[in-house]
Structure formats: C-alpha cells, structure tokens
Structure 1
Amino acid sequence: MQFSRTLRLRTIGSVSILAVLLSGCATLPSSGPTGSQVMRGAKDPAAELKFEVVDLDGAAFKRLLAVQPAGRGVGQLASLSREGRVDRIAPGDALQVNIYEVGMTLFGASTQNVTGGIGAQMGVIQDATDASVRSQPLNVVTVAADGTIRLPYVGRLMVAGSTPYDVQRMIEQGLQGKSQSPQALVTVVNSPGNSIYILGDVTRTGRIPLTAARERLLDAVASAGGSKVSAADTVVRLSRGGQSAEMRLGDIRPGSSDDLTLLPGDRIELVVEPRSFSAFGATSKVSQVAFESPKLSLAEALARIGGPNDAQADPKAVFLFRYDAAAIAAGEPPMIYRLNLMKPESYIIAQNFPMQDKDLIYIANSASNPVSKFVAILNQLFAPLLTARILTDNNN
C-alpha cells in the first residue's frame, strides 16, 4: 500500500514536471518564427498588414521571370522623353557678331581690308572702283534678361527664341539702306541657356553645353568623367520641366529609350546608393550584405550568409521578403517567397532567381528547436547534480 502511494505520487510529480517543462519551451528565446507560424500569419484575417506567400517552385519561377521589375526598372527615364531644340538663343547667351560690307562702309574707320574677300572666292566680279570686302567684328554681345541685344545702326533686336541664322537676317534687314550689300555672321560663343547641369557623385560636376550633335544622357555622364563608384551602385536622377525620374546607371543601355536625348535646362544628379540585402533567423549571424557585383542570385546570397544553420534551421522554410513600393501603391500586397531546400529543383531556381535591392532573407527555425534548447538547458542544470550523486554513491 505504501509502495503504491509512493509510486502514484512520483507519477503525478513527473507529469507535473513534464507539463512545466513543455510550457517552458514556448517561453524560450528564439531568433524568429517557424515556417508554420509565417504561413499562419499570411492567412490571419485579423492581421493589419496583409502579405502573400508564394512557393518558389518551377511554375511560380516561370511566371516571375516574365514580370518586369517595378521601382527603378527599365523605362523610368523614358517617361520624361520630350521633343526640343538646342539651337535657340536664350537670355545670358554670348554672341559674336561680324558684319561684312562692300565699297563705302558704315564702319570704315575701323574696318579690316579683306582683299579678294568673299566675292573673289566665289568668282563674283566686284565694282572696279573698290573690289574689296571689309569686315567689322563687333564686341561680344550678351543677350539681356528681356531677350534683346543692341547693335550700332541697327538698334534693339529681340533675339530670344531665335536661331543664329534668324539673327543674321534681322541685322541685315536693319542695315538695309545704311550700308552697301551688308552681310552678317552670328556665332554663339557661350550659351548657358542651351546647357545641362550635372552634379552629385561624378568626377567633374558643372555645366555642359549642348551642341547640334544632340548629346544623350550617357554622353553627359561620360563627359563628366563618369560615376565615382560602379554603375550598378549609382542612381541617376533626371529633372526636366518640373518632373523627375530615376533609375540605376547600370540599367541604362546606350541608345535605349532611357538614354534620353538631353534638352536645355536638364539637371542630372548621380547618387551613390550601394545595393544590399539583409539576413535574419537561423543563420550564422544577423547581417547586412552588399551585392558587390552587378547581379546577385538567391543562391549566391544564401552562400554569402553561410546558408541555413544545421543545428537550428528548417531548410524547408527559407523565406525572401520583398517590399516593392510601386506595387504596393498599386494595391498589391507585400510578397514573401518560400524556398524549400529539401527539393533538388530549388537549387536550380535559386541560381536563377535575381535578388533586388533591400531584399530580406529569413531562414525559419525548426519546430523542434525550442525542445532541443530546453533539453540542453536541463542538461546544464542537472548534469552537475547527477555527477555529484554518482560520486557520492561510489564513495559509499
């Protein structure tokens, strides 16, 4: 009777201790949720932030490859494409004006004799009394803020918005009846109005004049000495007409729609923004890792962080969290991609799945990990007592 009572008490005590131990497993510290907890969170109807989990299998991978990445992807700068000209005179431009006259001249006191001149070169027979053409180079004229210039014997001319050829005709018309066969030659010496500005993380910042060759965006970047870091880690921001767009320099292909033909007043800014991803969960350590290459696959990213930890990770629950601001603004939920590394095909998919800037890799804990931790703690607590008991029994 006494033995049965003692056995019953020991059984009740053992069950009570086991219940306490199991409840203690849930309160142990952990590096994050298990895979099943992540999946339950996606299906929770009461969750304030909804997200979607997509299994990275063969079918899903094919669909993802057909989708063009949003954000700073291809076509962002192309939206700013406009038609325009670079030969229009603007306030602040500096013009060199030369006036050519035949015979008696308005500027005779300071003219230079060009014997044979234009007429002789063109085979035209000049007046026998004076077979010379005289040219008068005027001082460089700066276009005023109101878009006008003022010339002797011509007066004030509105030249803003005109081409140099238009201004030549204005001057010639102004000299009609005052000079014999006047001809004008107008050259733009300096044109802030037909320039673009480049700044930021380039070798040489400043103003770049545009020419009739019609420079493109990459031409301007090359003229400025290029980016200070790799093109893949440099963001190009183009401002035009009150609008702006940006994309990574490495994504712009020469001659493409994003390699815009520049227009007067464009402002180009190059900003260094290194691409990186973060790693959490059952891995060697929580870390932020730079891409350090133009492209990075999911397999390469997992290799850089040491892959799943054998002692605590669940290889069937490797998650990639991706926050696409453009997609979310369009009403799409944040995406979480799940990779099952126990399937051989997953390694092929991981080799070809491209990482994006600020992606987050989370390797889930194994469901048995809390129990293993608790058993290890018990071993640390009771192993010294058991050793002491054994030694005491042996000494007796």
Structure 2
Amino acid sequence: MQLSKSILLSSSRVHLFPLCMVSLVLSGCAAIPSSGPTGAQIRSEIKADTSHLGISLLEVKSALDLPIAAEPSAVFSSNYTPTPSTDLLGAGDVLDIVIYESGITLFGRTSSATVEGNTDTSAKAERLPPSRVGDDGAINIPFIGEVNVAGRTTAEVERLLRQALRRKSQNPQVLVSIREGLTNSVIIGGDVARPGRLVLPTNRETLSDVIALAGGNRGEIKDMLVRVQRDGENGEFRLSDILSHPERDVRVFPADRISIVRMPRSFSVLGAAGRAEQVPFPTASVSLAEAIALSGGSNPNAGDPRAIFVFRFVRGADGKETPVVYHFNMMQSSSYLLAQRFFMTDKDVLYVGNAVANQPTKLVQIVSQLFLPLLSLQNATNF
C-alpha cells in the first residue's frame, strides 16, 4: 500500500512539473537568446533616432539608390613648388670631376686620353677625388679654391671651372658628372625589396615608378597602402587604386618620404548570417553579393533575407563623417543585381536581420529540450 502511494505521488509530481515549467518559460520569453534585432526594429530605431547620431536610412531599390563612388580629392597643395630638376646641384651631392690638359700641364701627366681609338700623348686626364657639395653649396678644387656650385647645372660648373683654369693651364677641358645626387632623391621604406635612398633618374617618376625602382612591393597589392610625406603634408594611396587608375598615380618629387605598409581591408558580418566573423577582402574590390556569399548568406533557421543592412560611415565634402545604413530586400530579384553594383568599403558592417518567427521557433526548441526527458520519465512510471 505504501509503495502504491509513493508511485502515485511521483506521477502527480511528474504531471505537475511540466505545467510549472511551461509557466516559467512563457513568462521568460523576452530572455530567449537572439542573434540581434529584426529589420523592423532597426528601421524604427533609426527613424526615431534615439541615439542622436544623425543616422540616415537608405532603401536601395534601384540603381539610382546606389552610392556614387567618391573620387579621391587632391592630397597635396596644387600650388606646391617642387625642388629643382635633376640637373641642378645641391648640398650633399657627390661629383666626379675629370680635367683634360694638353701641352704644359698643371696637374701632371697621370694618364693618356684616347680619342677615336688613337692615343694622344699630348693630352692628359686628371680624375679628381669625389667632391661632395657642402652645406654652403661649395666644393674645393686644387689651384682654384672654393667654387659655389649649388643651384647650377653640371654644364655650368664645367664652364666655370674651365674659365678658372684658363690662365693656369693650357687649353683645359673639364667634365663634371653626378655620382650621388642626394638633392634629387627620395627615401622609400616599408614592404619593398630595397628600402633606402633612391635617386630619381629623370625627376618625372610617379609612385609606381619609384616602387618598381625599389624592387617592387613584398606583399599582396590589394593589402598595400602607400604613404607619402611631402613638405609637411601627408597623403595615403591604395596601391591597387594606383595601378588600376593611372590618373591617381601621382608624381614623386625630390625630398619625398615614401612608406609602403601592409594594411589589409576587411568588413564585419553580424546578426543572423551563416557565420559572424571579420572577413578580409579577398580581392581589391568586393561587392555586396560577394560579401553575403562569403559570410554564408542568411541563416535559413534564424535570418531574414528581407533585412540585409550595410552600416557605413560616409565622409562628406567637408571632411565630416556621417553614419549611413543601406537596406536591401533580398526577397526581390532586382536586389541581387543591385548587390553586384554595391561595393563594400573598409570597416563596413554587414548585418543580417533576425527573423520575426525566430523567437517562437527557439521557444519550441527550448520546450522540447526541457520536456523530452520529463515525458520519458512519465512513460517509464506508467509501466
């Protein structure tokens, strides 16, 4: 008799416990985990603007709604006066000077000059040690003294030295060449094969020319950022943009300091997508259609394909950034075409809205997980 009462009491508890659990679960529906707000919640919050961030919501329904790719503004001042061209000398340059004499010589006979394959024993060539232009712009030549060469071309220095030697030597001829043209050089560093000082051969080189002369970049082109420091101004250029748009391949001037740094771009995927993660750009440009595919698309059990959002800060003409949210309804076939013309930018946030039916589905799953053991226990007690 006692055993039968005990079994009856257990059975009543088993029947009573599910009722209690249902009450608790129903009262705690708001606490059910969620992957984020629904599309309707996002739109209503943006329209209410409770954050006071000045967020704009743009419904992308036609090609006219697609953002226009902003042309990069001029980085450096248009009135910038570059340093003199490469044929002008300056402080730090190293010169090679050769003086040819005939007859009575001033420097002594050191070698014979060869003209058209015949040796002329009456003509002597004297190669002076390398002459570095000092900070005062002068070099020192034996039997002449200090000669100011800064701001002059090599041809002008040749005439100047020839005139200074005319009364001291018989028919002197002078050749001047630049061994190290520091005045007409740039400093390049970072992810290039040969960082260091680079002398500009023609002073008409562009960024891509200088990178090639330095041995090329060592990383992937899509990840490379080119920084240029010029006369107190700084400019940044994407190497992929420079190579794909020749008009953006700016000219390099002497004294520029160039750095090639690896700075990959990425976008973040949140919400009810196939997977939430940070996705690096696989190529130089990534469309929204490709971004959705890379993130696994909308989760069929939790996501709402009608609520695809791209959160972005847009820089205006005044340089200020304003938050903009672009909305795509991927249940419309036209959105798949528009998504191919919408291109992601660095640090964009791709959000897939939570489906409205997601909460009841999760509730059913939770109830099933809680009650299945209890139902099994109840069936066991009935035997």
- What range describes the TM-score normalised by the shorter chain of this pair? 0.7 to 0.9
Q: Quote the residue 2:362 is aligned against.
A: 373
Equivalent runs, 1:104-183 vs 2, <5 Å: 104-107=104-107, 109-114=108-113, 132-183=122-173
What TM-score does the superposition give when structure 2 sets the normalisation length? 0.84
3-state SS of paired residue (1:334): strand
Q: Choose the corresponding residue for 1:345, options 329, 334, 338.
A: 334
Deviations 1:148-172 (A, max 9, x none): 1111221111112221112112212
Q: Quote the residue 1:47 is aligned against.
A: 51
Unpaired runs of 5+ residues, structure 1, are: 1-15, 122-129
Deviations 1:71-91 (A, max 9, x none): xx5855796975441222122
What TM-score does the superposition give when structure 1 sets the normalisation length? 0.81
Q: Choose the corresponding residue for 1:31, options 14, 32, 35.
A: 35
CA distance in 1, matches of 2:79, 2:248: 9
Shift of 1:53: 1.4
Q: Quote the residue 1:236 is aligned against.
A: 226
CA distance in 2, matches of 1:42, 1:210: 54
Structure 1 position 296 matched with structure 2 position 286:
yes
Shift of 1:176: 3.5
CA distance in 1, matches of 2:249, 2:81: 12
CA distance in 1, matches of 2:238, 2:79: 16
3-state SS of paired residue (1:311): coil
Contact 1:200 1:270 in 2 (8 A): yes
Letter in 2 for 1:154: I
Contact 2:35 2:272 in 1 (8 A): yes
CA distance in 2, matches of 1:142, 1:173: 21
CA distance in 1, matches of 2:228, 2:258: 5
Distance change in 2, residues 1:221/1:274 (3 Å)? same
Contact 1:77 1:247 in 2 (8 A): no
CA distance in 2, matches of 1:19, 1:78: 71
Structure 1 position 69 matched with structure 2 position 70:
yes
CA distance in 2, matches of 1:205, 1:352: 39
Structure 1 position 358 matched with structure 2 position 358:
no
Shift of 1:193: 2.1
Contact 1:25 1:374 in 2 (8 A): yes
CA distance in 2, matches of 1:203, 1:79: 32
Equivalent runs, 1:255-270 vs 2, <5 Å: 256-270=246-260
**Number of aligned residue pairs:** 363
Shift of 1:26: 2.2
Q: Quote the residue 2:8 is aligned against.
A: none
Deviations 1:122-142 (A, max 9, x none): xxxxxxxx9944333222211
Letter in 2 for 1:31: S
Q: Quote the residue 2:213 is aligned against.
A: 223
CA distance in 2, matches of 1:193, 1:331: 38
Q: Quote the residue 1:186 is aligned against.
A: 176
Distance change in 2, residues 1:87/1:296 (3 Å)? same
3-state SS of paired residue (1:135): strand
Deviations 1:44-99 (A, max 9, x none): 244232211111211444x52xx2336xx585579697544122212222111122
Task: Report sequence identity in percent.
Answer: 39
Aligned-residue Cα RMSD (Å) equals 3.2
Distance change in 2, residues 1:151/1:218 (3 Å)? same
Shift of 1:116: 6.5
3-state SS of paired residue (1:91): coil
Contact 1:80 1:244 in 2 (8 A): no
Letter in 2 for 1:103: G
Structure 1 position 214 matched with structure 2 position 204:
yes
